[in-house]
Every structure is written in structure tokens, then in C-alpha cells.
């Protein structure tokens, strides 16, 4: 190994190229040793892990030196009554925030005792929006008109790139001489960003050739990927899903330690009025908290939490209780590809019964989306209850040290 270290120091061997000459496990260990020598910092704990390096170093992480371990707790059982997820589930939550798992666990108890959360998928489609340059606003209009009437040609080009995904449609937005073509794809059980990108590139070539518009960038930010954007709140992106539950007054009192009018008022003044006053695009209490914990545990891209945070929570008085719901219009997730194949993350997906591809394709990702939505609902209920009962600070003093 000393020979390789000397070559790295001499500049004849690049740090990122170690896997080209050594097995992945040896390459990772050598790279870690080099960084330790250069910085004087021990990475012994980072270098202690249980996952297989072969996949992670080749498919998930360049210049790998080890792993960072995040504690995983479970909340549940959570009773879910969805079209794809039906039954009781234990949610794996990867977090370092004390009180989070306990909070979600309380919400799971309330939902389960109420008979379960009813959950429905509202839409399903991953987007990518190339931006084109045109000669004039008249030409821009011509390009948009061409896209609108040539769905078949665009679909054939896009669908040639994948045996799994399917082109669903495209919508154009014209800004001056810029034309944004927001394409949407059914990506089955994959989160599908790579699939959509490759398909969009082929489709963009067809649009350019037919209209004379010049492709400027394969992503024009109208997708909009990994950013909280109004277009995704309105049109949706990834899996769109809603979860709701009716809580009788007695259950609000016994589990959430508050009363129905107080719960409704907190949701109205905090989640709706407060979010509007702040100019927020998300109208919820802590949706990102639960999404982040589930995403990290289950091998999702954590940057997509920015999109998941666009959730809207509603609480409506109903005879003898309250109906609380969360709507997540933008939830990019998948059960194949990305980090889902890493062993620890695959175990967490297996805990939910959604590891790998579903039969038929797409059913596992939709089941996972329904479970995530029900988990978000549990987190919303518990936090709203804590706020209404004035228990938030007390809980964090006890569990959030």
C-alpha cells in the first residue's frame, strides 16, 4: 500500500482513480489512510461500517473513505388504509433529533386507535424541463404550439431510451425568447430523475430539429428539482399523495392531551395563517422532519426533502371530532436505484415491505409514498397536539437534550 501512497503524493495516481487499480474495499481503506496522514485526523469510526463497499464505491459515492452512521429509531405500529399500503407498519426513522421519534410514535398511536389513516395517490409523474432559446417571441410561440400538437413524436423519442418509463406529456412556458418544456414521465418504482433526464435529452433533440429552437440546458429549473417551487406545489412532481384521519374528541383528549377546538386553532393560526404571513410555500408543522428521517433510512436522495416540505396540513371540525389531513403534492421517491440497494437502507425498505420493484411495476413506490404520507400525518398530529397543550418545550427538555 505504501507504493500507492507514494504515487498519490507524487501526483502520478489520482485519489479518485484508486478503484481502477485496487478492489473497492482496499481503495476506500487506502484513501482514508491518505486523508488521515494529510490532515492528522483519525477516521477510525468513519472507517467502521457494515455495508458492502463494492456497490457503494462504484455506484453511490465517489472518493469514498467510509460512512457516517445515523441512529435509526422505529415509530409505530401505524395503521394505514391505502390503495397500495394496507396494514400496520413500523416506520424506520434515521435522525439525531431527540424527541422526533417519540413525537411520531404518539401520532402513530392516535391514528391507529382512530382506525387508521386513509391514504390516496393523487398523481404520479417525474418531471424534467429543458430550456430552449428562440429567435423572437413569435418563434417562441411557434415552438410551444409545435410541442402541443406533436405529443406522439416526442413520446416515441423519449420512450426509446427506457424499457421501464413512459412519457406522459409536456407543458410549455414561454418567457421572452426562452421556452421551457416541462416533460413528465411515469418512472414506475424508480424515483426516476436519471430516467427522465436521459429521455428528455432525446426528446429535446426532436424538438430542436423540428422547430429550430436551440437547447440551452437540459434542466431549465422549471422542473423544479430539489428546490421549493410554486410550480411543484400547484402542478405536483414525483408522487402526489394525501393522508387523512378522523379523530374523535375523546381520542384528541386522551392521546394528544388537548381538545379539538385548540387543535384546529393551532393549525389555522400556525400552519395556515403563520405560513402565509411568512411567505412560506409549505403550510405544515414539521413535514420535512419525518420525510428526512424516512428518506435517510430508506436510501432516498435527502435533497428532495426540499420538495416534500411543500405539504399542506388541514384540520376541519367534524361531528364529535376533527378530520386532519396532509397533502403532499411533490414527493420524489423510489424503491429501486440510487441508495435503495445499500444493505442497511434495503433492510429499512424491507421493514416496510417495499424493497425492490413491485408487481406490477410502480406499486412498491406508490405503497412507499402512502406510508410516508401517513407518517407525515402522524408527525403533524403529535406536534399540533403538543403546541395546543403547551407541551412542546417540556418534551424537548425531556427528550431533546
Closest CA to 37 of 14, 61, 9: 9
Catalytic residue (one of 97, 153, 159, 347)? 97
Residue 22 grid coordinates: 485496487
Is 21 part of the annotated catalytic residue set?
A: no
266 strand-pairing partners: none
Rg (CA), the chain: 24
Phi-psi region of 91 (alpha: psi -120 to 50; beta: other; left: phi over 0): beta
248-253: list long-range contacts, CB under 8 Å, 24+ apart: 248/114, 248/320, 248/321, 249/320, 249/321, 249/322, 251/110, 251/113, 251/114, 251/321, 252/110, 252/321, 252/322, 252/385
- Please give the Cα distance from 282 to 210 (Å, whole number): 40
Closest CA to 58 of 28, 92, 80: 28
Is 97 part of the annotated catalytic residue set?
A: yes
Closest CA to 354 of 342, 366, 339: 366
Q: What share of the chain is helix, strand, coil (3-state, %, to 5)?
A: 50, 25, 30
Reduced 3-state DSSP string for 67-120: CCCCCEEEEEEEEEEECCCEEEEEEEEECCCCCHHHHHHHHHHHHHHCCCEEEE
Catalytic residue (one of 36, 186, 259, 301)? 301
Catalytic residue (one of 139, 150, 391, 396)? 396
Please state whether the peptide bond connecting residue 225 to the residue before it is cis, i.e. omega within 30 degrees of 0: no
CB 55 within 8 A of CB 22: no
List residues with catalytic annotation: 97, 301, 396
Amino acid at each position: 500500500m505504501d507504493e500507492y501512497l507514494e504515487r498519490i503524493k507524487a501526483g502520478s495516481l489520482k485519489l479518485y482513480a484508486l478503484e481502477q487499480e485496487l478492489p473497492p474495499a482496499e481503495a476506500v481503506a487506502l484513501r482514508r489512510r491518505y486523508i488521515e496522514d494529510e490532515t492528522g485526523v483519525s477516521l477510525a469510526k468513519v472507517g467502521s461500517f457494515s455495508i458492502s463497499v463494492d456497490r457503494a464505491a462504484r455506484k453511490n459515492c465517489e472518493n469514498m473513505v467510509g460512512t457516517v452512521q445515523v441512529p435509526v429509531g422505529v415509530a409505530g405500529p401505524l395503521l394505514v388504509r391505502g390503495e397500495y399500503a394496507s396494514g400496520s407498519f413500523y416506520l424506520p426513522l434515521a435522525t439525531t433529533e431527540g424527541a422526533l421519534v417519540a413525537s411520531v410514535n404518539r401520532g402513530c398511536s392516535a391514528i391507529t386507535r382512530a382506525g387508521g389513516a386513509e391514504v390516496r395517490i393523487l398523481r404520479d409523474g417525474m418531471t424534467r424541463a429543458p430550456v430552449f432559446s428562440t429567435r423572437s417571441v413569435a418563434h417562441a410561440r411557434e415552438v410551444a404550439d409545435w410541442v402541443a400538437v406533436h405529443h406522439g413524436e416526442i413520446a416515441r423519442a423519449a420512450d426509446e431510451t427506457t424499457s421501464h418509463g413512459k412519457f406522459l406529456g409536456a407543458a410549455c412556458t414561454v418567457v421572452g425568447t426562452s421556452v421551457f418544456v416541462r416533460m413528465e414521465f411515469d418512472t414506475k418504482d424508480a424515483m426516476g430523475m436519471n430516467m427522465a433526464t436521459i429521455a428528455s435529452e432525446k426528446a429535446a433533440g426532436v424538438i430542436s430539429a423540428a422547430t429550430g429552437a436551440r437547447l440551452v440546458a437540459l434542466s431549465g429549473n422549471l422542473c423544479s428539482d430539489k428546490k421549493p417551487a410554486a410550480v411543484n406545489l400547484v402542478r405536483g412532481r414525483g408522487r402526489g399523495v394525501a393522508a387523512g384521519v378522523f379523530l374523535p374528541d375523546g381520542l384528541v383528549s386522551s392521546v394528544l392531551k388537548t381538545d379539538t377546538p385548540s387543535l384546529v386553532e393551532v393549525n389555522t393560526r400556525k400552519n395556515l395563517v403563520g405560513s402565509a404571513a411568512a411567505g412560506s410555500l409549505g403550510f405544515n408543522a414539521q413535514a420535512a422532519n419525518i420525510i428526512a428521517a424516512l428518506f435517510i433510512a430508506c436510501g432516498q436522495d435527502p435533497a428532495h426533502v426540499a420538495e416534500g416540505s411543500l405539504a399542506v396540513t388541514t384540520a376541519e371540525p367534524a361531528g364529535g371530532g376533527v378530520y386532519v389531513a396532509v397533502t403532499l403534492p411533490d414527493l420524489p421517491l423510489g424503491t429501486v436505484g440510487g441508495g435503495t440497494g445499500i444493505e442497511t437502507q434495503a433492510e429499512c425498505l424491507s421493514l416496510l415491505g417495499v424493497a425492490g420493484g413491485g408487481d406490477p411495476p410502480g406499486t412498491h413506490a406508490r405503497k412507499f409514498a402512502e406510508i410516508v404520507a401517513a407518517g407525515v400525518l402522524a408527525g403533524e398530529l403529535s406536534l399540533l397536539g403538543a403546541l395546543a397543550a403547551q407541551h412542546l418545550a417540556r418534551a424537548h427538555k425531556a427528550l431533546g437534550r
